[in-house]
């Protein structure tokens, strides 16, 4: 089990490129199941969650090769419609394969993705929508047995919550369905638009992605296409938090400022200056941060739940109090106990976390228990007195591409052992 050792209080500086978006790559890899011929996916980050998706695609019969940041995928040879438990459990978001496999093969058998570190992660919205499209889904012994006896048909679907995964699953089931599907109360995240862009390049007819209503006209078939994954807005927010807590000035390239429209004001409230232009962000932090007052996580374009943990570390060392309200997931404060071990002053009560800023954190041995919580601990190690030892690095590797190398390039004293 690898660990990270961080010697804190190193000022950061310099320019780094932001990785491709994990939460865009995963649904787009699932979408290749629907295509004939070859797709080239550029700017695809090297992450364990991406490798888990590649493993599922290969199991289904796809031929995939990686050339640097490019994945070359051919789904002509798909010969299976089941995903074994071992592959499903590697990554909770494998559920997004359900719609794609069902649409491609007419059946799908996969195990319940189950909960994860941040909450029970139900899939009722996914299943309800697919059933409305004509899928017959039996849930037994922890498995989902799905068939579409008369094929999938387009219909009007209204989501009870703008679920990202459910919106993606429905899009993947609808692009080859008979007729038109309308999704109201759809998720509006940039990753939804990126998935639609790829599918439309393959010949799909998707309108309105990124808005609350998405219309999909089913087509007969899809051909592989070339596509570049959008930058990872959460990785960008994480790097800004690392700079914020160390009083640093950094530049981020290959980033879309508009995707961070709800995150940047939080840093500005804390006294940082953030200049976005031509795909670059010039980020400067003050010597000591001010509090960010209130941060409430919401569906996009609200403040992203994935940035809650990384930015909480900034609140920990700010002047004053910041209140976090986590409205998306039930159990997304597991990092707070580890931050408290490093001297943070945090009280949590249900969806609320009250953070009283302290002068400084001190190094300690801490344990990551989920992806974004791990990022929060890395940021804490960068600004803590003495050394911090972080275990549970496997969580970090699910969503951050070589984060320790990126931070080293910016001047951090961080090593993986
Ligand atoms: C996606 O998860 C992201 N993962 C998450 O990022 C992100 O936090 C989340 O969207 C919200 O933005 C990927 O894209 C791979 P949801 P997803 O369905 O699709 C409830 C990260 O750190 N819900 O929008 O699972 C659910 O319990 C990860 O990169 C139902 O009740 O999120 C949650 O409370 C973590 N029934 C809320 O909706 C359902 O059928 C939002 O979930 C589906 C969801």
Q: What's the mean pLDDT in 257-276?
A: 98
Which of 159, 167, 158, 231 has the alpha carbon at shortest distance from 199?
167
pLDDT band (50, 70, 90) for residue 89: confident
Q: Residue 369 in contact with residue 410, Cβ under 8 Å?
A: no
Q: What is the rounded distance in angstroms from the CA atom of residue 230 to the CA atom of residue 111?
A: 30
Mutate to test the pocket of ligand 1, among 235, 328, 400 (most ligand atoms within 8 A of CB): 328
Catalytic residues: 116
- CA 369 to ligand 1 center in whole angstroms: 17
Question: What secondary structure letter does DSSP report for 73?
Answer: E
Check residues 86 and 246 and name the one with the higher pLDDT. 246
14: CB partners within 8 A, 6+ apart: 250, 251, 409, 410, 411
Q: Is the CB of 186 under 6 A from ligand 1?
A: no
Mean pLDDT of the chain: 96
349 sits in which H/E element: strand 345-349
pLDDT tens digits for range 347-382: 999 999 999 999 999 999 999 999 999 999 999 999
Q: What is the rounded distance in angstroms from the CA atom of residue 51 to the CA atom of residue 215?
A: 31
- CA 163 to ligand 1 center in whole angstroms: 6
pLDDT at 414: 98
Q: Residue 247 in contact with residue 285, Cβ under 8 Å?
A: yes
Q: Is the CB of 23 under 6 A from ligand 1?
A: yes
3-state secondary structure at position 345:
strand
pTM (global) more than 0.85: yes
Q: Is the pLDDT of residue 115 over 70?
A: no
Please report, in angstroms and rounded to a whole number, the separation of the first and last CA atoms in the chain.
9
pLDDT band (50, 70, 90) for residue 141: confident
Q: Residue 212 in contact with residue 186, Cβ under 8 Å?
A: yes
Q: What is the rounded distance in angstroms from the CA atom of residue 396 to the CA atom of residue 204?
A: 34
Percent pLDDT > 70 in the chain is: 100
Mutate to test the pocket of ligand 1, among 93, 120, 165 (most ligand atoms within 8 A of CB): 165
Q: Is the pLDDT of residue 114 over 70?
A: no
Measured over all CA atoms, what is the biggest interatomic distance in the chain, rounded to whole angstroms? 64
Check residues 223 and 112 and name the one with the higher pLDDT. 223
Q: Is the CB of 412 under 6 A from ligand 1?
A: no
Backbone angles phi, psi at 179, to 5 degrees: 95, -165
């Amino acid at each position: 089990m690898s660990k990270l050792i961080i010697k804190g209080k190193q000022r950061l500086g310099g320019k780094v490129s932001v990785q491709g978006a994990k939460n865009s790559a995963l649904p787009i890899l699932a979408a290749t199941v629907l295509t004939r011929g070859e797709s080239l996916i550029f700017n695809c980050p090297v992450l364990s969650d991406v490798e888990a998706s590649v493993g599922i695609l290969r199991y289904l019969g796809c031929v995939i090769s990686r050339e640097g940041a490019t994945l070359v995928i051919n789904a002509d040879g798909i010969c299976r419609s089941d995903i074994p438990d071992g592959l499903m459990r590697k990554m909770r978001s494998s559920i997004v394969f359900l719609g794609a496999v069902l649409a491609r093969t007419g059946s799908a058998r996969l195990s319940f993705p189950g909960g994860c570190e941040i909450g029970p992660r139900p899939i009722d919205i996914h299943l309800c929508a697919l059933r409305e499209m004509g899928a017959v889904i039996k849930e037994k012994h922890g498995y989902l047995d799905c068939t579409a006896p008369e094929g999938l048909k387009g219909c009007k679907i209204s989501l009870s919550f703008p679920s990202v995964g459910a919106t993606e699953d429905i899009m993947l089931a609808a692009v080859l369905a008979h007729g038109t599907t309308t999704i109201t109360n759809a998720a509006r995240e940039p990753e939804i638009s990126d998935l639609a862009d790829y599918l439309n390049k393959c010949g799909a007819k998707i309108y309105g992605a990124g808005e609350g209503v998405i219309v999909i006209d089913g087509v007969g078939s899809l051909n592989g296409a070339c596509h570049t994954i959008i930058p990872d807005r959460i990785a960008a927010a994480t790097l800004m938090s690392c700079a914020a807590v160390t009083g640093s000035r950094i530049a981020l390239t290959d980033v879309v400022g508009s995707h961070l429209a709800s995150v940047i004001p939080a840093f500005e409230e804390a006294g940082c200056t953030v200049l976005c232009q031509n795909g670059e962000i010039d980020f400067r932090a003050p010597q000591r941060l001010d509090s960010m007052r209130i941060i409430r996580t919401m569906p996009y374009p609200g403040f992203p739940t994935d940035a809650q943990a990384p930015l909480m570390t900034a609140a920990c060392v700010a002047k004053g109090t910041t209140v976090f309200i986590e409205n998306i997931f039930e159990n997304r404060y597991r990092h707070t106990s580890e931050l408290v071990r490093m001297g943070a002053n945090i009280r949590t009560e249900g969806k609320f976390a009250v953070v009283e800023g302290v002068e400084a954190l001190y190094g300690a041995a801490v344990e990551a228990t989920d992806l974004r919580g791990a990022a929060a601990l890395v940021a804490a190690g960068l600004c803590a007195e003495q050394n911090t030892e972080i275990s549970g690095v496997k969580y970090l590797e699910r969503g951050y591409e070589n984060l320790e190398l990126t931070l080293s390039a910016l001047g951090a004293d961080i090593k993986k052992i």
